[in-house]
Amino acid sequence: MAGSRVVLMGDPTYFSIRAGANPHTRTAWGRRKSVDRHKAIAQWHAFARLLGSFDVRVLVVPADPRLTGLVYPANAGFLFPLDAALAVADKTFYLANLLPSRAGEQPVYERFLTRCGFRTAPLQARFEGEADFFPVGKHYVFTYGRVEAQRFRFRLGVPPYERVYGFRSEIGALSTLQQIVGDTEVIPLELCNEAYYHGDTALCAFGPERRFLLTYLDALLPTAALRLKKLFKDELIPLSAADAALYAANSFTLRRGEKQYLFMPAGVSETLQRQVNERGVEPIVIDVSEFLRKGGGAVKCMIGDLGPDEETGLTPEQQTFRHQRDYQTLFPQGQV
């Protein structure tokens, strides 16, 4: 059954930390964290059911024991145009060029999205999808940082080494992204804190026309933070360090009829929820802590946004595939 919006989510059956590619995935001693898989699976199903209760259609990407990052499909790429009510054939999903430890995910997403009826196109520069490129009001924001080989290096201290993670999208992707969106202005912003390695961990556009912006300013270079404050003025909501650490910015905005919602990680402050509510948007909190504390991704990382749920022009085979991969078809009784 068609819903208000359609999203991707990745089956969490094999969720684990294999590469340990961001600061949340490793202990202070650099050891990869261990996932409580039973807890993670329960949280994932609770989230998928919650989205379904708001008329969001969840298409589930099958699990692969070698590709545990599939639970974070925000990195798969981005759909353009995103919010326009167009036939699927009139939109293109631009596939991300992921870091080496996750590069094997790209063909999985390509096959899945093609079977769902989308056109796909690869990007050549290092770039990690809507996690770093998303609409904000009348603009698009592109976040990037220094891309480095992930490694350990020696230091003075305890332990006597540290992990270098770097960032996920490089500035070289900017020209291609600007060509894709045409006359829409793209605002490039450089990230500076590896704990906020994607833009969607520090920035979240929400509300009518995505006009409001949650922002953890300390995750950006001072020049980038100043530009945002000048551009968005009172529509920018600075995040406290405590809310930012819970990935409050890693939230998912949804319009259903005339109502606006923001799905946020559980634990965010009452003050922040009140600020969201004051802007005519209802905050909905959901516990995805196992995905944040172990994998470095919360609500938005777990979702690939495919825009309004539109099936015009799909072939019978594409409609059948979508139905087969629909969460409600796969799990009619919820978690099993």
Q: What's the average pLDDT block by block, 10 residues per block, for the chain (336 residues)?
A: 83 94 94 96 97 97 96 98 90 96 96 96 96 97 96 92 95 98 98 98 97 98 97 97 98 96 98 98 98 97 96 94 97 74
End-to-end CA distance of the chain: 21
DSSP letter at 97? B
C-beta separation of 143 from 205 below 8 A: no
Identity of the residue numbered 266: A
Could you tell me the CA-to-CA distances from 100 to 67, 120, 168, 240, 296 in Å, in that order?
Answer: 12, 20, 11, 33, 17
C-beta separation of 257 from 268 below 8 A: no
User: Which CATH architecture fits 7-324?
Assistant: 5-stranded Propeller (3.75)
3-class DSSP state of 122: strand
How many separate helices (H) and strands (E) can be counted in the chain? Answer: 9, 17
> How far, in Å, CA of 65 to CA of 69, rounded?
10
SS3 content of the chain, % helix, strand, coil (to 5): 35, 25, 40
Tell me the Cα Rg of the chain.
19
3-class DSSP state of 287: coil
The pTM assigned to this predicted structure is: 0.96
Could you tell me the CA-to-CA distances from 178 to 5, 134, 151, 263 in Å, in that order?
Answer: 26, 12, 32, 29
Domain chopping of the chain, boundaries:
7-324
Identity of the residue numbered 11: D
Element (H, E) at 135: strand 133-136
C-beta separation of 61 from 115 below 8 A: no
Element (H, E) at 305: strand 304-308
> How far, in Å, CA of 310 to CA of 118, rounded?
11
> How far, in Å, CA of 55 to CA of 5, rounded?
7
Nearest CA among 329, 305, 322, 332 for reference residue 78: 305
pLDDT value at residue 316: 96
* Pairing assessment for the beta strands 212-215 and 203-206 based on DSSP bridges: antiparallel
